[in-house]
Chain A
Amino acid sequence: MEAQETCSYMTHGAVMPFCKGCGHSNILKKLNDAMASLKLDPEDVCLVTDIGCIGLADALFDKVHTVHTTHGRSTGFATGLAVADKVLASRKMKVVVLIGDGGSMIGLLHIVNAALMNVDVTVIIANNFLFGMTGGQQSSLTPEHFVTLTTPFGSMNPSLDICRIADASKGGFIARKIATDKDLTDVMAKAISFDGFSLVEVLELCTEHGTKRNDLKGGMLAQMAEHEGHELGIIKENSLRKEFSRKYESDVQSHTGEIKQPAFIEQESLHNLTKAAGIIISGSAGERVQSSAAMLCEAAVRCGLNTTQKNDNPVTQGSGFSLSEVILSPDEINYTGVSRASYVIISSEAGLKELKAQNIFKRIDNDTVIITDESIELSNNGYNVISLPLRKACGADKATLGAVDYAIRMYGLFPHEVFKKVIEKKFGQYETIFKKEFLTFWF
């Protein structure tokens, strides 16, 4: 038996479903030969085919795994397959994508990212300069002046040099060949055996839509490429970059165990609440509003309370307002909004503005304790306002923290000692957290 035959991955006696003279038949036969020359175990090969005429290939290969995907996304599915195989499984699968020129543009980012990741995927682009299956429409790889169904006077755009895109995406093996090239089998074999991302663009003619509208012969493909400024042959072949799974091993897996989950929070004291307390904390982004609320919650849990912390901020993370609604309760907490605030902390003008914008004053009554920075002017509606030099005494970045600290001390929700320990864990000794004035200002 011929060695080649024992290694064929194609269905015995498969009839090519393509038009007479179409380059696809040649590409697929040579792909079969390329895989045979590498003696790949069929179980370790997956052909991932895109939409379009070239995508019909999956039905022709009955010995290997075939995954026929959505349009343009073949390289995306192939990336998942290759990563899972290399990192989680046998580490030996060869994944080959077959995609047309149309698919390569709609799915360009999948190709770019596969190249950047350097996954062990080979992308073969069957480039016949147009969308064949749908009637011969222009694609992004149609050369300038080339006539298609939708460019009856010739394409206005030049064609994309996808090999240069692959190069710019740091792909390691890049070639542009012509379907009739004698060494196409060898080049495809090189691409498949390349340990990392490889791309082979194969130029060919669509005999149904391409040659009928343009004065073209097979021999002119090289000339066309040259005219578009597209290099032919093996453009790049270097293995300087590690294949993805080996890079993952050295860059990520070697750090296993370094990221620790936060430890459980031990109860160390008792709280003084008989019912839920709602606390609204509003200030400026970047001034530890939400992290002060989180420390309040941690201390509350240390005293046996249940907590929720519902945060709000604009889409930007470091500018504008920052707001937390905290509920501390001896009971289970359901609704996470504060319906009626027991305490409101306003540490900056941006915080006040947001409280007004959200109509939060409707949730404040005369029993609500409002702790504000002295710079903030609240109209006197009978509110119980405590105005403190928070920003001066604590600094802008700890004004909110100072206000929370003050509230815990003054209103005895739970022992202040517990909160003190929580913030000391983060900022060091209590006496050094705030400016000196802080301790003398109001105690």
Chain B
Amino acid sequence: MQTLQKALRSGNQMVAEGAIKAGCKFFAGYPITPASGVYKGMIDLLPQNAGIAISSPDEISALAYCVGASMRGYKSMTATSGPGWALMIETVQYALITETPVVICVVQRLGPCTGGATQGGQGDILITEFATSGGYTIPVLYPSTAKECFRLTAEAFNWAEKYRTPVVLLSDKEIGMTTESLDYSGLGDLKTFDRKTISKTDPDFKNWKMYGFDSPDMIAKFAPVGGDIKVTATGSAHNALGYLKKNDTETISTLLHLEEKITSHKNEMVLVNEDLQDNANTLIISFGITARTMKDAVKTARKNRINVSALTIYSMFPVPEEKIINAASDCKRVVIPEENINGQYRKIIKPLLKDKEVIGINKAGSMITPEEILERII
């Protein structure tokens, strides 16, 4: 018999384990259903892994603590749900403009407002992505299983570190709180990436600036607060040295670089699963919990000798445009099931699907079923 390492784990627990694996050393949490499992996981795991997890008095503090710890040089994460994310929106922009790596796990629940704490939902896709004044891209990853929670949390840290940016790991109640059997021997090896740092002895130091860049894709090396180089950080528009400036060319280009540095790396930020079939009329595009449902619908359709293609999206933002266009190229119809009322991701990708019939399956308050997707496969 093959040596399996089976365990029962929830998505939330695997987010915590993935974070530890990625080298997370700091976590601050505030309780909220359905994300509290990540908080508890980190409280149990971090002290035994040379890190620290603390409680915070609200979500604003939670993210501010994480940004502070990351500025000191340590990989940091917090976890919340829709109502908490709403409170974090100012602080996540601070992380973005100060180019501070941080991971925020947003476990979605039914909205709006406090909505349904113990009900699932996929309604925070747009509010996670468009949380910044100015519309800067916040990279968003979205797993659909406990195993993927592990892998993509680690990837979220890698992206945060590599591109010096906040990254949102989107999840939802049905992934976060559902327990499933999982084989650790199948988790595979994870590559982890640590931010490139700089000190005065570094040969690059002479030409280095806090937020300097020579090309759109360049990410300045990180100087930690407490290191031998003076850190100048501000949440206001600033020049390459980090000093608040108004309207000079360098300041505006430093601002624009916040977006350029992401878009110029977008080809390295593509994570999808393509299950494409020849002669398929329909392509289904899904993510998160609904991607699992899609798989069952596809299986049944194929059993009934109907060809159908399926695309699971893990890297929600930047939008994996080429993969979407390519997957849809031979299909007439694209079906996009998502557990929100107006097809949030559908709105984003519809412009890519010219000449296609684009159909949404939308629902609030309960999971979309395989039958509801199957009905739309012809």
Which A positions have Cβ atoms within 8 angstroms of B? 42-44, 46, 58-59, 62-70, 73, 76-85, 87-90, 93, 109-110, 112-113, 117, 248, 252-253, 255-257, 259, 261-262, 264-267, 294, 297-298, 300-301, 305-315, 333-337, 339, 358
- Could you name 7 residue pairs across A and B whose Cβ atoms are closer than 8 Å? A46-B226, A68-B236, A77-B67, A80-B65, A89-B226, A109-B61, A301-B181
CB of A242 to closest CB in B, whole Å: 16
Decide: B174 and A84 in contact? CB cutoff 8 A: no
Contact B226 A113 (CB under 8 A): no
Among all A-B residue pairs, the 5 with the closest Cβ atoms: A80-B68, A76-B64, A80-B65, A84-B69, A84-B72
Q: Are A313 and B1 in contact (CB under 8 A)?
A: no
Known: A88-B74, A306-B181, A308-B179. A112 touches B47 (CB 8 A): no
The digit string for B1-30, where 1 denotes a CB below 8 A from any CB of A, is 100111110000000000000000110100
Known: A65-B230, A265-B8, A297-B179. Contact between A109 and B225, CB under 8 A? Answer: no
Contacts of A333 in B (CB 8 A): 180
Q: Which residues of B contact A358 (CB under 8 A)?
A: 366
- The secondary structure that dominates the B interface is mixed
The smallest beta-carbon distance between B294 and chain A, in angstroms, is 8
B336 within 8 A of A: no
Give, as a whole number of angstroms, the nearest-CB distance from A166 to chain B: 15
Mark the stretch among B48-56, B327-335, B348-356 that contacts chain A: B48-56
Whether B177 sits at the interface, judged by CB under 8 Å, is yes
Contact A305 B181 (CB under 8 A): yes
Tell me which of A256, A267, A334 has the highest count of chain B C-beta atoms within 10 A of its own C-beta: A334
CA A84 – CA B224 in complex, angstroms?
Answer: 11
**In angstroms, how far is the closest chain A Cβ from the Cβ of B240?**
15
Q: Name which residue of chain B comes closest to A73, CB basis.
A: B64
Residues of A within 8 A of B64 (CB): 69, 73, 76-77, 79-80, 110
Q: How far is the CA of A337 from the CA of B76 in the complex (A)?
A: 34
Interface flag for B73 (CB, 8 Å):
yes
A70 engages B90 (CB within 8 Å):
yes
> With A43-B228, A66-B232 known to touch, is A83 a contact of B8 (CB < 8 Å)?
no
Closest B residue by C-beta to A244: B54
Q: Is B94 interfacial (CB-CB < 8 Å)?
A: yes
In this assembly, does B91 line the interface, its C-beta being within 8 Å of a C-beta of chain A? yes
Could you tell me the distance between the alpha carbons of A312 and B116 in the complex, rounded to whole angstroms? 11
Chain A residue contacts of B76, Cβ below 8 A: 80
Option from B8, B54, B71, B369 in Cβ contact (under 8 Å) with A298 = B8
User: What B residues does A58 contact at CB under 8 A?
Assistant: 232, 234
In chain A, what residue has the closest Cβ to B175? A336
Q: What is the 8 Å Cβ interface bit string for chain B, positions 31-53, against chain A (1 contact, 0 not)?
A: 00100000000001101101110
Contact A334 B292 (CB under 8 A): yes
- Which A residues lie within 8 Å of B367 (CB)? 335-337
CB distance from A245 to the nearest CB of B (A): 9
Residues of chain A lying within 8 A (CB to CB) of residue B47: 252-253, 255-256
Residue interface bits B168-197, CB-to-A below 8 A is 1, else 0: 000000100111110010000000000000
Per the bound structure, the CA–CA distance linking A93 and B215 in Å amounts to 35
> Are B33 and A315 closer than 8 Å at their CB atoms?
yes
Alpha-carbon gap, A73 to B61, bound state (A): 8
Indicate if the CB atoms of A267 and B56 lie closer than 8 Å: no
Contact flags B235-279 to A (C-beta < 8 A → 1, else 0): 110000001100000000000000000000000000000000000
Query: In the assembled complex, which residues on chain A have CB atoms less than 8 Å from the CB atom of B117?
Result: 315
Q: Is the CB of B91 within 8 A of A336?
A: no
Q: Does B204 contact A (CB under 8 A)?
A: no
Bound CA span A89–B71, Å: 12
Inter-chain contacts of A70 with B (CB < 8 A): 90-91, 94, 235
Told that A67-B233, A81-B226, A264-B184 touch, could you supply 15 new A-B pairs with CB distance under 8 A? A43-B228, A44-B226, A64-B230, A68-B244, A79-B68, A80-B67, A82-B68, A84-B25, A84-B68, A88-B26, A89-B73, A313-B118, A335-B296, A335-B370, A339-B369
Interchain CB contact under 8 A, B7 and A265 = yes
Among A64, A69, A88, A93, point to the contact of B235 (Cβ < 8 A).
A69
B306 within 8 A of A: no
Determine how close the nearest CB of chain A comes to the CB of B132; give it in whole angstroms. 13
Instruction: Give the residues in chain B near A89, CB-CB below 8 Å.
Output: 72-74, 226
Asked if B66 lies at the interface with its beta carbon under 8 angstroms from chain A, I say: yes
Specify which of A73, A85, A301, A310 is in contact with B72 (CB 8 Å cutoff).
A85
CB of B231 within 8 Å of the partner chain? yes
- Please measure, in the bound complex, the distance between the C-alpha atom of A113 and the C-alpha atom of B60, giving whole angstroms: 12
User: Which chain B positions have C-beta within 8 A of A267?
Assistant: 1, 4, 6
Binary interface encoding of chain B residues 202-239 relative to chain A, with 1 for a CB under 8 A from any of its CBs, else 0? 00000000000000000000000111101111111000
Contacts of A76 in B (CB 8 A): 60-61, 64-65, 68
CB–CB B118/A264 < 8 A: no
Contact residues in A for B25 (Cβ distance below 8 Å): 84, 88
Quick check: A248 and B227 within 8 Å, CB to CB? no
Say how far A59's CB is from chain B's closest CB, in angstroms: 6
B135 within 8 A of A: no
CB pair A67 B1 closer than 8 Å: no
Give Cα A126–Cα B266 distance, bound, in whole angstroms. Answer: 45
Residue B295 lies at the interface, judged by CB distance under 8 Å to chain A = yes
Whole-angstrom CA separation of A80 from B8 in the bound complex: 33
- Give complex CA distance A313, B118 in Å: 7
Chain A residue nearest in CB terms to B236: A68
CA–CA, A85 and B226, complex, Å: 8
Q: Which residue of B lies closest to A326 (CB)?
A: B179
User: Whole-angstrom distance from the CB of A73 to the nearest CB of chain B?
Assistant: 5
Q: How far is the CB of A280 from chain B (nearest CB, A)?
A: 14
Contact B233 A66 (CB under 8 A): yes
A78 and B68 form a contact (CB under 8 A)? yes
B18 to chain A, nearest CB (A): 14
Report if B58 contacts A (CB, 8 A): yes
Take A113-B56, A306-B181 as given contacts and tell me if A339 and B235 are in contact as well, using a CB distance cutoff of 8 Å: no
Instruction: Mark B97-124 against chain A: 1 for CB-CB distance below 8 A, else 0.
Output: 0000000000000000000011000000
Whether B174 and A81, one on each chain, are in contact in the complex, defined by CB atoms closer than 8 angstroms, is no
Inter-chain contacts of B54 with A (CB < 8 A): 83, 117
User: Is B57 in the interface zone, CB < 8 Å from A?
Assistant: yes
Q: Does B311 sit within 8 A of A, measured CB to CB?
A: no
